[in-house]
Structure 1
Amino acid sequence: MKIDFIKMEGLGNDFIILDDRDTKIEQYENYPALAKKLCSRHFGIGADGIILILESRDHDIKFRIYNSDGSQAQMCGNGMRCFAKYLYEKKMIGKKAIRVDTKAGTVIPEVITNDKDQVQSVKVDMGEPVLACRDIPFESGNKKAVDEPLAVGDKEYRITAVSMGNPHAVIFVDDVKKVDIVKIGQLIENHERFPEKTNVEFIEVVNKSELKMKVWERGAGITLACGTGACAALVAAHLTGRASQKAIVHLDGGDLDIHWDKASNHIFKTGPATLVFDGRIRI
């Protein structure tokens, strides 16, 4: 079977977008196996994950994402920007703001266009941050885990646990360049206190309105950017008095503008999305 695909990236976090509204792809091969195959950087197209465009009964469209290891993620901020830009530019949906069905609930991305109606950036209403440990989930004796100690081997890290539809462990460090992202990231991702595993963000505070971030993503490893992680980072930084309600998060792939609107308690994320190439592949 041959399928059409589009390769996109948001700050270097790259995805393969597949239109399976007629379910023909799923009928031929299950999504987890397909994700492993297509995301291989040696034997496939190469990506951090695949994103499926699916029909929805009560939303404008349905978004589903599978990581490169075949695991399903609830949401992905960078992937959502790519998703929204693709839908708008291909005229699959004519509205600039759309209601998207995700495993994390309703997400509303809005494309920002220039005078030629070209998408310049995408602003995504990421919803409300979840801080209750039982809902993240994170095993703790406290209702919320803000700057809470976490024993990892013979070392202790202080984390702030946040869910943006998917779990995050945010750690503040003096210099992100000196952190062993792979070693520490793997250990915390698979820590027993995170029953569904977790994404891990390492944050260096530049000032109240700027954060540097490196990320270890659950199911994908080191990536150049993580949209939900950047949102979680701002939440954790604000809760611990390190940042204001709005900040630029500097990632390896570029910058994201994150705003925690306290009036609505929603997190808004604005950033770019770029087409890399499209094509057809036999599966």
Structure 2
Amino acid sequence: MHGAGNDFIVLNGIDQDLSNITQEQWQKLSHRQFGIGADQILLVEKATRPDADFRYRIFNADGGEVEQCGNGSRCFVRFVLDQGLSNKNPLRVEVAHTVLTLLSHPDGQVEVNMGAPIFEHSQIPFNADGLASMQEFHEMLYALPLDRPASHDDWVGVVSMGNPHAVQVVGDVDSAPVLEEGPDIEKHPAFPKRVNAGYMQILNRKEIKLRVFERGAGETLACGTGACAAVVSGIRRGMLDSPVQVHTRGGDLQIAWGGMVNDVAQPVIMTGPAVTVFEGETEI
């Protein structure tokens, strides 16, 4: 499946036991030449808490398990409905730290309540010790020194959408050094669990272009949580107004965020496509 070009292997872990698959086996399945090929693998399982209909787990192409995947959540709900695992709409699905509400629209678009963004450094997690910082409207920006020849500091806004993001504004996203700097930002010591590196070009107050170097997957054609994080950061910097159309290399997403109400962050709502490419069987 894919959501705006961000592609997934989606596995039914309800009718078969997939709990013993190793990190190396996840890597082989994700390999684009020697396996099926995917940015991430989504494993659909029975819920472990009473307020959810299902649970789903996310494994990056490097085999590591991660907390959240926005585009994957849309593919998840399309998979569950198409496979006849449920006829409920909306659905509530359990991920690592929260429960998401997913609504499938008749036109094939899927709307996801992604929950509220997280700014507390310890929860991202992010360690700002020793980093230069500056305030821009409501957003605190941090300079990330990169250990590269002729390197420069990247000023980033830091936010978690259940997974960590470092978002910077660039003049031209197509020429931004995503592949050159992305790996260094991903593994920057300020982020003990690594980070997704977002590059945002602002077209107008309602429209951006975005590229993301994803933690454990490299650059993907789209990143749902990255789109949410970019819009949240842009609104906090006073550059954007909700809702925002996000143009990724794989397609468009719409992100809406109500900002802060009485110092409480409101949930982010993401709407976008979810498409099945093919179905099949493989032996592990």
Could you say whether these structures have the same fold, taking a TM-score greater than 0.5 normalized by the shorter chain as the test? yes
Q: Deviations over 1:127-162 (max 9, x none)?
A: 000011121111115899722222112311100000
8 Å CA contact retained: 2:139, 2:237 = no
- Of 146, 150, 153, 1:152 maps to 146
Name the counterpart of 2:120. Answer: 132
8 Å CA contact retained: 1:133, 1:145 = no
Name the counterpart of 1:278. Answer: 279
CA drift at 1:23: 5.3
Share of identical aligned residues, percent? Answer: 38
CA drift at 1:261: 2.6
Classify the secondary structure of the residue corresponding to 1:80. helix
Q: Tell me whether 1:230 sits opposite 2:227 in the alignment.
A: yes
Q: Find the aligned partners of 2:185 and 2:97 in 1 and give their Cα distance.
A: 22
CA drift at 1:22: 4.8
Summarize the alignment of residues 206-221 of structure 1 with structure 2, pairs less than 5 Å apart: 206-221=203-218
Q: Deviations over 1:105-141 (max 9, x none)?
A: 1111111115xxxxx1100000000011121111115
Q: What code does the residue aligned with 1:96 have?
A: N
Q: Tell me whether 1:107 sits opposite 2:108 in the alignment.
A: no
Q: Find the aligned partners of 2:25 and 2:274 in 1 and give their Cα distance.
A: 23
Q: Tell me whether 1:269 sits opposite 2:270 in the alignment.
A: yes
What's the RMSD between the two structures over aligned residues? Answer: 1.7
Q: Tell me whether 1:179 sits opposite 2:166 in the alignment.
A: no
Q: Find the aligned partners of 1:124 and 1:73 in 2 and give their Cα distance.
A: 18
CA drift at 1:246: 1.4
8 Å CA contact retained: 2:243, 2:255 = yes
CA drift at 1:223: 0.3
**Taking structure 1 as reference, are residues 219 and 79 closer, same or farther at Cα in structure 2, changes over 3 Å only?**
same
Q: Find the aligned partners of 2:38 and 2:209 in 1 and give their Cα distance.
A: 23
CA drift at 1:98: 1.1
Between 216-225 and 95-104, report the one with greater CA deviation: 95-104
CA drift at 1:91: 2.1
Name the counterpart of 2:11. Answer: 18
Q: Find the aligned partners of 1:147 and 1:258 in 2 and give their Cα distance.
A: 22
Gaps of 5+ in 1: 1-7, 115-119
Classify the secondary structure of the residue corresponding to 2:208. strand
Q: Find the aligned partners of 1:158 and 1:145 in 2 and give their Cα distance.
A: 11
Question: TM-score, normalised on structure 1?
Answer: 0.91
Q: What code does the residue aligned with 2:24 have?
A: A
Q: What code does the residue aligned with 1:189 have?
A: E
CA drift at 1:16: 0.4
8 Å CA contact retained: 1:145, 1:159 = no
CA drift at 1:96: 1.0
The runs of 4+ residues in structure 1 deviating greater than 6 Å are: 142-145
Q: What code does the residue aligned with 1:248 have?
A: Q
Summarize the alignment of residues 1-283 of structure 1 with structure 2, pairs less than 5 Å apart: 8-22=1-15, 24-27=17-20, 29-30=21-22, 32-58=23-49, 59-114=52-107, 120-141=108-129, 146-153=140-147, 154-262=151-259, 265-283=266-284
Identify, as 1 or 2, the structure richer in strand: 1
Q: Find the aligned partners of 1:229 and 1:50 in 2 and give their Cα distance.
A: 18
Gaps of 5+ in 2: none
Q: Find the aligned partners of 2:190 and 2:123 in 1 and give their Cα distance.
A: 13
8 Å CA contact retained: 1:104, 1:166 = no
